[in-house]
Amino acid sequence: MGLFKKLFGVLSRKVNRFNVENRAHKVLERDKPVPAPKYESNLKDLEFAKKASPDFIEKQNIKDGGLDDRLKKVFVTSQEPGFQLEPPIQRQHEEDRPLPTSTKSIDFFEYGYLEPVKITPGRCSLRQATQFILDHNEDPKLWTAEKIAEDYKMKAEHVENILKYFKTFAVHLPKKPKSLAQSSKVKQLLGKGDQ
């Protein structure tokens, strides 16, 4: 397969390079390059321009001397001001400046963000949501979706969806494992079982 690829590559390169100079000269000898095909919308615009001004295309192809002279008179000069770094402001050491008195570290928020103080009706905070999910899990008959919706001023439909799709994490601790020597499977593997 690899040999075939190499052979095909060599042959295709030779075909592409065959008679390159003559083909290039033919393209360069043409008076005008072949224009790209125009879209129907462009042709409609061109016809509209011809109707509005019959000599529109001729004006486009003729060099306007007045415009050319005015263009030659325009000169753009730019002077870049020298870039100077300003020296940094040196602060004088103020000995009478009070130092911070509190060295207490910043407390991190329990849920990772600052909880809002005021909660708009129809919404609940993460703390409130976890609380009513826990309440519902402990006693679903007492804490129904309607009662939670009434307490938190939310729509019952939203509370039902929250209770359906969101759950709190439950911690499951394993029972005290047997030691490896006491395990019946280990005894069977060692050949000491059922003797």
Residue identified by tokens 């002077």 is: 79
The per-residue pLDDT for range 31-49, each reduced to its tens digit, is: 777 778 889 998 898 888 8
Instruction: Show the tokens assigned to 20.
Output: 């390159």
Q: What DSSP string runs through 35-82?
A: PPPPPHHHHHHHHHHHHH-TTHHHHHHS--HHHHHHHHH------PPP
Q: What is the DSSP letter of 5?
A: H
Average pLDDT over residues 128-137: 94
CA distance 169 to 140: 17
Residue identified by tokens 């969806």 is: 161
CA 30 to chain centre: 50
186 Cβ contact list (under 8 Å, min separation 6):
180
Q: What is the DSSP letter of 87?
A: P
17 compared with 133, residue with greater pLDDT: 133
The per-residue pLDDT for range 70-118, each reduced to its tens digit, is: 999 988 887 777 666 677 666 666 667 777 787 777 777 888 888 888 9
Domain boundaries, the chain: 40-66, 126-165
Q: How many residues does the chain have?
A: 195
Question: How much is the pTM?
Answer: 0.37
9 compared with 190, residue with greater pLDDT: 9
